[in-house]
Structure 1
Amino acid sequence: MNNNLSVTVLGSSPADTDQLEALLPLLSDEERSRQSTMRLASDRWNFALAHCLLRKELSRWHPSIAPQSWIFERTKTGKPVISAHQQTGIGPLDINITHTDGLVACAITNCGQVGIDAERWSRDIAIDRLARDVLTHRERTLIAKLPKDRQKAAFISHWTLKEASLKATGIGLNVELPSLDCHFANSEQPFSGVANIKGLPLPGETSGTDRENTGGQIMHLELFERADHALALAHLGQQAPVSPSLSECRLSDLLAH
C-alpha cells in the first residue's frame, strides 16, 4: 500500500445540535458516556461530531469495518490509537482529531504518526497574558514587532502548530510549549505554510541526538489558513514528506449511516 495521509474537515454549527441523537449510535459506549458528562451542548456536539467523522473516514480507508465497529485505546501518555488487535488485521494506522467552535477535523495516516489542531482566528485571546506560556522569547519578540491587527493570528499559528506536533508524538503535557521554537519556511507569508519546530523530543531520542532527525524520523509541519480557522497538521515519519490529501465532509454524509 502507498504511503497516505488524509485530513478531513467538517463545519460545525450550533444550529445543528438537535441532530446529536442521530449520531450517538456511531459512538462507543465509552464515547457516549464521556460526551454526556459535558456541560455545554456545543461541547457535546463537537465531541460527537469529531469522533463520528473519524469513524466514518476510517471506514473509507477500510470499508469492511463499519464506523461503529472501530475500537480505540490510549497510549501511556494518553494519545488515542486504534486497538492493537484491530491493527493486526488492517496494518498500522495512526489517527488524530481536533474540534473547536465552528470546525472539527480528523487526520489518518498509514505511515508514521499524525497530530492535528485547529483554532478560530476570532477567538478572544489575551496574548499578553498567554505569550509566556506558549511562545519562546524569539517568537514573542517577532510577534510584538507585527502590527496589532496581525498579532493574534500569528500567535494562533504558532500555538496550533505546537499543539499538533505534541499530539503527533503523543508527548502531550510532558513538554512545555515555550521550549518549542517554531520557524515558518515561507518568508513572504511567515505564519502559514510549511514550518519546523526546534526543541521537540522525538520518540526514541537519547541524550545528545539531533532532535530534528531521530531514528530516520522527521516531523513535517504545515499550517493551513482557512477563512475562519487555523488548521495545523504535524506528521512524524520518514525523511520524505507525504503530501496530505485534504477533503471536506458534510453533516448529511455523517447522518447517512
Structure 2
Amino acid sequence: MELLELFLKSIFIENMIFATFLGMCSYLAVSKKVSTAVGLGAAVIFVQVITVPLNYLLDKYILRPGALTWLGEEYAEYDLSFLTFILFIATVATMVQLVEMVVEKFAPALYNSLGIFLPLIAVNCAILGGSLFMQQKDFATITEATVYGLGSGIGWFLAILAIGAIREKIRYSNVPPVFRGLGMTFILTGLMAIGFMSFGGMLTGGSDAPKKEVVENVAPAVTEEVNEVATDSTALETKTDSLTQTVQE
C-alpha cells in the first residue's frame, strides 16, 4: 500500500510539471502535437526509471557521508557528497544518449520531429529533479526509488500529453488574440495543476493513527492548562470574596 501511495503521489500530487514546474521548456516547446508529446513523454519515463535507481545506488554506496564503509573501516569518514551533481548528471546524460540512439534507429520520423529537444533531455531539470528529490526523501530501498522514478516520469508524460491534446483542439477555437499562444498554454497549465492537486485529499488522508497520537500528546497538556485556569479562578474568587467581606466590615 505504501508503494502504491508513493506511486500515485509522484504522479498527481508531486507532479514535476504542476507541483514543481520542472521541465517547462520541453513541456511548452514539444506539446504542439500529441505525437511528439507522446514520444518525448515516453523517453522521459524511460530515463527516469533508469536514472533514479542508479543514482540511488550511487548516493547510498558512494556519495553520502560514510557510504564507503563497505570498502573498509578506513573509508568510513570519507564524504563525497560534493560530487552529487556531477555523477547524477553523468548518469542522466548516459541514459539520454542511449535513448537518442534507440529512437534514431527504430523511429527516425519521431527522432526528426523531436529535433534538438531529445538530446536536451540530458539537461531537463525534471530528470535531475527526480534524482535530487529521491535523495531528499531518503528512500529505504531501491524499490521505492524505482517506483518514485516511474511515477514522476508518468506524471510528466500525462502533463505533456494532456496539454498537447488540448493545444491541438484549441487551434480550431476562437481564442481571444491576447490569449493565443503561450498565454493560453499557461492558463491551461494552471487549471490542470489545480485538478491534479485535488488528488491530495484522497492520498494524504486515511490513517487515524496520527490523529490518535496527536490527541494523546495534546490532551494531557490541555488538561493541565484547564486545571491551572480552574485553580486560578478559584483563588481569584476566594480573594474577591475576602475583599468584599473586608469592605463590608
Higher strand share: 1
Shorter-chain TM-score bucket reads under 0.3
Higher relative contact order (CA 8 A, sep 6+): 2
- TM-score, structure 1 length as denominator? 0.22
Higher helix share: 2
